[in-house]
Structure 1
Amino acid sequence: MPFPFNIVFIKKLPLLFAACFFFYGCKSKTNSDETTQQVFKLADSPVFNEDSAYAFVQKQVDFGPRVPNTSAHKKCGDFLVKTLEKYGLQVTEQTFEATTYDGKKLNARNIIGSFNPTASKRILLTSHWDSRPFADQDSLNKNKPVPAANDGASGVGILLEIARTLSVSANKPDLGVDIIFFDAEDWGNSDKAKDKFSGYCLGSQHWAANKHIPNYTAYFGILLDMVGAKGATFPKEGYSVQMAESVVKEVWDIARELGYSNYFLDQRGSGITDDHVPVNEVAKIPMIDIIHTQPDNIAQTFFKDWHTTNDTMENIDPKTLKAVGQTVLQVLYQEGSPQAM
């Protein structure tokens, strides 16, 4: 059975899919018959502070579940805006009314922070900042909201730390960086929603169709989703490879050079319908998804406390935040340096 069938999730949706796992990229040269590994010089980059990123994750969780239309959601959103402004980013709040699969109206806002807003070359970094309103994967508390330490706050925490690092570093990359915190991502239901996204990704769908700046574009984008758990693994997400293969290669090559291959697996993973899909398909910006999946675990595609009330700070490991944050920061400096990979 060389190509076993596996259960694959399309974002939060189980779907039978033939998962073909293979190694991608060049191997280290051991003899003249093997392909030579690409060698490049890493640009000078600041050190990513994992403890500061951890504190940003903790701050979000301390507000409580950031479910749209709640006080915790509004307070956390205000905190994100003030923090980006504190670090000198130009902030745009894109407010909109989102309609859920079950007809609820959400007061939502995408929060955009722009570093070096006049630069022509731009990199887009995103994560969702809302919390799931019901812990449907929980054995006991299915109707309670998810604390969302990993599934939401971890990616936001890393991007806040990148914003802080860019603001304080004397060595700044020669490019623009746009950070978008997408709202209303996690209100879907794969059993009841009838749309392409099963009710998920409302904020990214809205932004992709209504960019905060007319005709906005970026060289490429990186989405962070569930990027803080202990022992996290990041295979090359399937749609990312399909829609932005060269970006995947660059990011995973950099992670390898930094010594993070135990996190960034040289292996193709499942296709996950996530916020990067509308950005690719509608906004026409090549974007990849760094997302924690377990390609060899048929029973559990995502981390064990996914969509449960146990998605708390106990899940978060500063070492994982460091691996992802340092890799993404290095990508910015690599792209903003005269050195070419």
Structure 2
Amino acid sequence: MNLLKYTCYLSILAISTAFVGCKQSSSSSESSSTSEEAKLVTAPAFNADTAYSYVEKQVKFGPRIPNSSAHVKCGDWMASELKKLGCEVIEQKFKPVTYDGKVLNARNIIGVYNPQATKRIILSSHWDTRPFSDDDSTAKTKPFDSANDGPSGVAVIFEILRTIQNSAQKPNIGIDVILFDVEDWGPPSDYTKEVTIPNQGWLMGSEYWSRNLHQPNYSAYFGILLDMVGAKGATFTKDMTSMQYAPAVMNNVWGIASQLGYSQYFLNQEFGNISDDHVPVNVNAKIPMIDICDLRPTTGNTFGDYHHTQKDNLSIIDKAALKAVGQTVLQVLYEEGKPQ
């Protein structure tokens, strides 16, 4: 994920998804205030210790760089784990070509929970590792653990599924877990050649899925993307991309986070024009999706000093941040899936 300015995407959005924006914009302030005033349904407790263990498990495979054995082994484990957590698993295998001509063996891993439900919500994260730590001045070409950038989002989703599976009361909705591959293989920060492939080589898994849906005529009520959600000092702003696509969804999620006492993480502030996996989902698949992503408006480093560096390892993972995000998203699911 990067900070590319994509005026063309916003222009496409203004034309092709105006009906979504108009419908949601008119109710966004009402949705936010309502979610803060209404009494929440009782959702089970999210276990941050187990979520941390899911992060640790992924990191132990080694960097999950496409075409590596660690990538294959971790992907196999995730597919197996989704089955254990009650999902039907679909794998989308594809061979994208990178900005510098490499052909990759990639796969999106999809878990379908409660397939009979007509109301469906997407939970997604990317699971691949960037092949080099190009924002690290002393190790630009070296691989890195990437504990937060990918694994934290996957871990929160897995723990949400485990919590629901072990709960006597389950939300009355379907959940589609979409783990996107090859999100993080864009050109390094010092690359000077022209790149003409879609998204400059970023977001290849979500771009592929959004044009090749795993089920014919698939749609969902909305989606939540989790990207870098477990670092110490994490803050989540209302990124301008999400606010353009799905303001009502974003305001509702942030309102629930506030009710749960997590306002120090979920800042009531619009910041960040980011290009992440929610862009192809919104533009191509026409499904409103928001991004919960660590953005730091006051530090001078939008993604934190760990981003795409050797610092992104288990030492920066904070169970309190995992808890804040996991409990909030779990509460959103129970609010959406409460009996009518």
TM-score with structure 2 setting the length = 0.89
How far apart, CA to CA, are the structure 2 residues paired with 1:173 and 1:130? 29
Q: Distance in 2 between matches of 1:37 and 1:47?
A: 19
Q: How does 1:37-76 map to 2 (within 5 A)?
A: 38-76=36-74
2:201 aligned counterpart, secondary structure: coil
Amino acid at match of 1:159: I
Alignment partner of 1:325 is 2:315: no
Residues 7-66 of structure 1 show CA distances to partners (whole Å, capped at 9, x for unaligned) of: xxxx4246699xxxxxx968x9xxxxxx99951111111100000000000000000000
Any conservation in 2 of the 1:112–1:181 contact (CA below 8 Å)? Answer: yes
2:195 matched to 1:159? no
Pick closer, same or farther for the CA change 1:232–1:111 going to 2, 3 Å. same
Distance in 2 separating the partners of 1:36 and 1:55:
35
Question: Structure 2 vs 1, CA of residues 142 and 304 (structure 1 numbering), >3 Å: closer, same or farther?
Answer: same
1:113 to 98, 111, 114: 111
Q: Does the C-alpha gap of structure 1 residues 36 and 176 become closer, same or farther in structure 2, counting only changes over 3 Å? A: closer
**What secondary structure is seen at the aligned counterpart in 2 of 1:78?**
helix
Q: Decide whether the 8 Å contact of 2:44 with 2:167 is kept in 1.
A: yes
Aligned to 1:246: 248
Distance 1:199 1:16, change over 3 A: closer
| Paired letter, 1:338 | P
Give, in angstroms, the shift of residue 198 of structure 1.
2.1
How many pairs were matched up?
A: 315
Structure 2 contact 132–140 (Cα < 8 Å) conserved: yes
Q: Which of 292, 295, 315 is the equivalent residue of 1:293?
A: 295
CA contact (8 A) 1:25 1:266 kept: no
Q: Which fold has the larger relative contact order, with Cα–Cα distance below 8 Å and residues 6 or more apart in sequence?
A: 2
Secondary structure class of the residue paired with 1:304: coil
- The 3-state SS of whatever aligns with 2:150 is helix
Identical aligned pairs, as a percentage?
57
Mapped partners of 1:79, 1:98: distance in 2:
22
Match of 1:12 in 2: 2
In structure 2, how many angstroms separate the alpha carbons of the residues matched to 1:62 and 1:331?
31
Between the aligned partners of 2:39 and 2:177, the Cα distance in structure 1 is 26
Counterparts of 1:185-334 in structure 2 under 5 Å? 185-189=183-187, 191=191, 192=193, 193-298=195-300, 300-334=301-335
Gapped regions of structure 1 (runs ≥ 5) = 1-10, 18-23, 29-34
Gaps of 5+ in 2: 8-27
> C-alpha displacement at 1:295, in angstroms?
1.2
Q: Which one has the bigger helix percentage?
A: 2
Q: Alignment partner of 1:187: what SS? A: coil
Partner of 1:125: 123
